[in-house]
């Protein structure tokens, strides 16, 4: 009996150490009041996104829940209004798998909202499920859709500066390896899905890095944020139904609650004094170093150019476009002469490395002269 009690005690002690060192997230403080400011959170009808939106609403922000499902989005907006006591929480339809939907959202937002102070790209998928598309669905939802949305909303972010863009990434980016010759190929099978998910998370980190360079001096800063291991719908969505009852108790024990997963994205959105770290990757409310593939400036710029073409962005729709520019009507069908083709041809996407412009002549990396000390989040 004594041996059994000792074993149980050791297990409990080990769990407490694991929980407080690896699972429990430090709380985010940052700006106490967001009154008069507007935030957009994608995928905010559940999980990390909903908890992120709740905290922003509690601090007085006007919060736009950008979600695919109208029913779930409206229900989440109602819940958040009730829980936060803030009536400025609204739903707007956004399906990141559809470039037309992204453009429609941007058009609606720019025509109705005079400010945009915080843009949080939280929505994402980890599997294609039963959906079969002629493109890489994981890259489309996790990177290309957010890339296009950021471009279309940049004029409003700039006029509202100082403002921030937060891209929710993952530690899975460390396994990513971008193959620019196969970037938008359809994904088939669970092995390809695992690889494509890691690649899309690497794309998130490189996007934040390049966006920081493109927006240097504009007052808009951007960050990649890892929420940590989180017990959310993304974790169980594609697990077979018979296995879920077995995994739920385990997930409850070793994974963070969505509220904990929201802390690092909130830190990146709200913490004062981290502007010099624009473009960096954060986890557990402090900046973390990334592997060489995630800090490759040439790859970041090449991904930027490939993403522009995959997103159907025309020559006049770059990050330096006029402040008053508006996205064109997304309802118009694409045609060969359209400036925003829905699906660019593969031959347009990948210029030969020998013919590409030298990275150093295009832009300059933001110098980070000193690391900020990690602060209480």
> What are the residue numbers of the active site?
197
Question: Residue 319 is encoded by which pair of tokens?
Answer: 């990050």
Inter-residue contact 82 to 125 (CB < 8 Å): no
C-alpha dist (Å) from residue 136 to 119, 187, 220, 292: 24, 6, 29, 24
- Rounded CA gap, 260 and 272, in Å? 20
Q: At what angle do helices 263-270 and 47-58 cross, to 10 degrees?
A: 40
Which helix or strand (DSSP H or E) is residue 16 part of? helix 2-18
DSSP reduced 3-state for 43? coil
- Rounded CA gap, 101 and 13, in Å? 50
Straight-line distance from the first to the last Cα atom of the chain, in angstroms, rounded to the nearest whole number: 43
Q: Is the dihedral of CA 160, 161, 162, 163 positive or negative?
A: positive
> CB within 8 A of 325, min separation 6: which ones?
155, 316, 317
Count, residues in the chain: 377
List strands edge to edge, sheet with 118-121. 89-93, 62-67, 38-42, 118-121, 163-168, 220-226, 281-283, 286-288
């Amino acid at each position: 009996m004594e041996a059994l009690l000792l074993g149980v005690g050791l297990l409990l002690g080990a769990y407490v150490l694991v929980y407080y060192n690896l699972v429990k997230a430090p709380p985010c403080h940052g700006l106490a009041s967001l009154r008069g400011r507007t935030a957009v959170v994608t995928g905010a009808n559940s999980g990390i996104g909903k908890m992120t939106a709740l905290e922003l609403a509690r601090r007085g922000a006007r919060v736009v829940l950008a979600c695919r499902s109208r029913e779930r989005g409206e229900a989440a907006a109602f819940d958040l209004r009730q829980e936060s006591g803030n009536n400025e929480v609204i739903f707007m339809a956004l399906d990141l798998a559809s470039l037309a939907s992204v453009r429609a959202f941007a058009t609606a937002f720019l025509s109705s909202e005079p400010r945009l102070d915080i843009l949080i790209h939280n929505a994402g998928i980890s599997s294609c499920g039963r959906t079969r598309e002629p493109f890489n669905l994981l890259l489309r939802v996790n990177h290309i859709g957010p890339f296009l949305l950021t471009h279309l909303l940049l004029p409003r972010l700039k006029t509202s500066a100082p403002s921030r863009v937060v891209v929710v990434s993952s530690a899975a980016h460390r396994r990513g390896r971008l193959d620019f010759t196969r970037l938008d190929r359809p994904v088939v099978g669970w092995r390809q899905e695992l690889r494509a998910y890691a690649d899309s998370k690497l794309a998130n980190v490189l996007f934040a890095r390049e966006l920081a360079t493109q927006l240097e001096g504009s007052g808009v800063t951007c960050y990649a944020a890892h929420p940590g291991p989180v017990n959310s719908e993304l974790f169980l969505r594609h697990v077979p139904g018979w296995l879920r009852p077995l995994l739920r108790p385990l997930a409850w024990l070793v994974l963070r609650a969505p509220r904990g997963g929201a802390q690092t994205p909130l830190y990146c959105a709200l913490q004062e004094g981290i502007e010099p770290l624009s473009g960096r990757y954060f986890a557990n409310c402090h900046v973390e170093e990334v592997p060489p593939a995630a800090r490759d400036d040439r790859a970041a710029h090449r991904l930027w150019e490939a993403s522009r073409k995959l997103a159907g962005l025309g020559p006049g729709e770059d990050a330096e476009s006029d402040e008053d520019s508006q996205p064109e009507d997304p309802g118009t069908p694409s045609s060969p002469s359209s400036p925003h083709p829905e699906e660019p041809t593969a031959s347009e996407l990948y210029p030969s490395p020998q013919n590409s412009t030298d990275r150093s002549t295009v832009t300059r990396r933001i110098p980070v002269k000193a690391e900020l000390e990690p602060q209480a989040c």
